[in-house]
Structure 1
Amino acid sequence: MRELKILAILIVIVGIIYWGVEPLAHSIMHPKVAPADFAFQDLSAVDMSKADAKKGKDLTMDNCASCHSITSQGIQAPMDDVSAASAFGVVPPDLSNAGAVFDAKFLVHFIQDPVRASLVSHKFKVSCEGMDSEQCEKNNAGKIDYPMNAFAGILSMQETIDIVAYLKSIAPESLSNKEVFAQACERCHSVKYDKVTALTSDSDLSRYLGAKAPDLSMMIRSKGEHYLNIFINDPQKELSGTAMPRVGLTKEAQHQVIEYLENVGDSKKAERDSLGIKIMIFFAVLSLLAYAWKRQIWKDLH
């Protein structure tokens, strides 16, 4: 009976620590943020029902093919990756799989205004109108010039919708996890554990982002699935002021990116979780046997 009382006390103490102290400490170190928003509610609604993919093809050839390749359609951008990265700061993505990976609503707004859609306006210098020179210099310290949107005032909303419809029409029905990762992340991020090298050099990325993009081989182990699910959808929620842009992945594509990172950086997770359950069952059975053995040996002394 005495042992059961001690066990009960231990269970209460462990319970207080596990369900009380630990969650409190976690909430202080990692404040709760809004969940991932795959509806992109900060962007205005887009009506894709009247999209014309045929018109979108012509618009894409006229407005996008000068920078972007579409290898699935036999289209190669005139600039190589090194020259493009030097000119733009980052390698422009191949658009072959873009329609399968990125949300249509996000893509429309991204083409119209990439800085606003990506939530990285804080990276760029603001107008100094109404400020003195000291205040202007302070507000723009470490920031870069606001990039001109090549399509501002050129493409209407309907034309942009048509382009996105075309990209959707040429997108494959399914992609592997690695292919989704390549479309969404490989321009900036390497995964050395899977021999994946970022398309953009560290020097160009440092100039474009202000810092080198991290290798993602062990990111799933250091940050965890829950953090990455929110961060990829909207980096500003978890790391305010970061240069990492919102990339606008669909829920399915984001799940594939995280699954890919898990397969590379934590491939034994499923096996480890399964083994953990078996070990707990083993300890429970062993505890019952130990208690029964103790009762048998000491029954004559009680």
Structure 2
Amino acid sequence: MIKTIFFTVIIVLFFYIIWINNIFAHRETYEMPSQYAKIASDVKSYAKEGKQLFEQNCQACHSVRYDAVYISSVQANPKLKTLQEKYGKVLPRDVYEAVFHEDLMALKESFGKVPPDLSTMYLVKGKEYLFNFTLEPQKVLPGTSMPPVMAGRPEETAKIIAYLKSVSEPSPEEKNKRVLMGVGTIAYLVVMGVLLWLWRGKILKRMGLH
């Protein structure tokens, strides 16, 4: 049993180090002035205004599906309301992409690819990257088709990032549900592991090998 536990721990550590938290991956760092970093992190104070700024400056190309904010052409499409009555405000991704395929392809023709949905972009890239990329897209990613719509507007950019942070983070209730689910899953695996080990011992004993 000790060997089994040992190898299980080794496998978990391997996946954590190599797959989940790849220590060999190249990580770029970006600077962000502290006054703007505070704004970007203060969801309670700035997320609402950040959403308004997003709708004014970014919604023509980008969606935030987790908050039921779709690109402008989709938002103006009467089909959206009908679909939301059927599926809820947040449409399933496959439904969204199938019904509004033409709108998405129009963006692809303009920019070379469909601009990404930003629902989880804060979690993926972090506030420092988003701040620098939004202000100076060509400097951070040369050749990108994203226009510098927020150039020279660092405070407003930070507020948009605060909004994206608010969308990407689950509510306290959802966090508690996820924690309980995680604890329950681990407990289930531990119990099943013990039962399987005991069952294995009985089988070996019957076979005269234990």
**What's the TM-score once normalised by structure 2's chain length?**
0.49
**What's the TM-score once normalised by structure 1's chain length?**
0.37
Larger RCO: Structure 1 or Structure 2 (Cα < 8 Å, ≥ 6 residues apart)? Answer: 2
